[in-house]
Amino acid sequence: MHSVKLTKLVEKMNLKNMTPDIDMTEIKVHQPDINRPALQLTGYFDHFDSERVQIIGYVEYTYLLSLETERKKEVYRKLLSAQIPCVVFCRELPPDQEILDAANELGIPIFMTEKSTSSFMAEVIRWLNVELAPMISIHGVLVDVYGEGVLIMGESGIGKSEAALELIKRGHRLVTDDVVEIRKVSDETLIGTAPDITRHFIELRGIGIIDVKTLFGVESVKETQSIDLVIKLEEWEKDKEYDRLGLEEEYTEFLGNKVVCHSLPIRPGRNLAIIVESAAVNHRQKKMGYNAAQELYKRVQKSLAKNSEK
């Protein structure tokens, strides 16, 4: 099961730690969803998912203020005894001493954030969905070309990194070279990132490792990118039949998600960077409702119809 350390969540969301004496280095979050424990504060714990981050908003806070001290202690102890990852108070609502005492005793961290409840919930869920998403690593190069995430694949030494370098010089942005970490954040979206150790580096045979960020500036790199198009580079085969019209889309699959895929034959004289650019723009154009291959097909059909009438 994927997990993310609570310390990473605290750092990312800039949470204020109200229980600094608690060691949270070993606490991990396993669920991307969160919970507002309204029913639990009234004593109903059936179907309670204790693995979720617990959020206290204004409604829960004002309800707690209405409780008598002994009842409040009982509610806090029962909630924190469920071994939840943590409790976050939104809108800078200060947690009372009763919950801090119970938290320190039971070892459950309490945090506070200035964000509103709704915006904080949305931000946490979005971030956790990415961090906890199913992930695979593949061999390839991921580049942002005109806003389209283009994953370039192919055998080692075929020219993936060289094509990426040319695209960078033409103003596009590198996400990762050699190893692409692909995360499935939804049934529609795949996100690609670079491993920390190789981020912003490209390997060029005969030259070695180059730092793209240092050579071309921060505008030449990007941390994450959705994968919209896959281009597979392959050696040119004289007798192989290649698609010349593109009337039917071909797909490849990662983690159960299908992505449009083009097989691109390599031979001397072909400018890979321009071809990749054209493929990215053409893919974007198709998403906006225009398909050049279908338009050509319609023109041919109209021409044949006119000739048949003569």
* pLDDT tens figures, 14-46: 999 999 999 999 999 999 999 999 999 988 999
Flag whether 116 is marked binding: no
Marked catalytic residue, from 52, 72, 115, 160: 160
* pLDDT tens figures, 106-128: 999 999 999 999 999 999 999 99
Active site residue 139: yes
Active site residue 23: no
Flag whether 154 is marked binding: yes
Question: According to the model, what pLDDT value does residue 1 have?
Answer: 56
Flag whether 263 is marked binding: no
* pLDDT tens figures, 160-206: 888 899 999 999 999 999 899 999 988 889 999 999 899 999 988 88
- In this predicted structure, the answer to whether residue 159 has a pLDDT above a threshold of 90 is no
Flag whether 161 is marked binding: yes
**Cβ atoms 180, 141 nearer than 8 A:** yes
Marked catalytic residue, from 8, 126, 139, 299: 139
Active site residue 244: yes
Question: According to the model, what pLDDT value does residue 293 have?
Answer: 75
| Nearest CA-CA partner of 81 in 33, 118, 48 | 48
Between CA 58 and CA 293 the distance in angstroms is 56
Marked catalytic residue, from 47, 244, 267, 310: 244
Give residue 231's pLDDT band: very low, low, confident or very high (50, 70, 90): very high
- In this predicted structure, the answer to whether residue 53 has a pLDDT above a threshold of 60 is yes
Flag whether 159 is marked binding: yes
Flag whether 160 is marked binding: yes
Active site residue 211: no
Q: State percent of the chain over pLDDT 70.
A: 95
The per-residue pLDDT of the chain, averaged, comes to 89
Give residue 246's pLDDT band: very low, low, confident or very high (50, 70, 90): low
Average pLDDT over residues 85-89: 96
19 Cβ neighbours under 8 A, 6+ residues apart: 100, 103, 104, 108, 109, 110
Marked catalytic residue, from 12, 73, 178, 213: 178
Give residue 56's pLDDT band: very low, low, confident or very high (50, 70, 90): very high
Q: Find the range with the poorest average confidence among 148-162, 182-196, 219-233, 296-310.
A: 296-310
pTM, rounded to two decimals: 0.74
- In this predicted structure, the answer to whether residue 268 has a pLDDT above a threshold of 70 is no
Between CA 119 and CA 110 the distance in angstroms is 19
Domains, the chain, with CATH or none: 4-131 (3.40.1390.20), 135-293 (3.40.50.300)
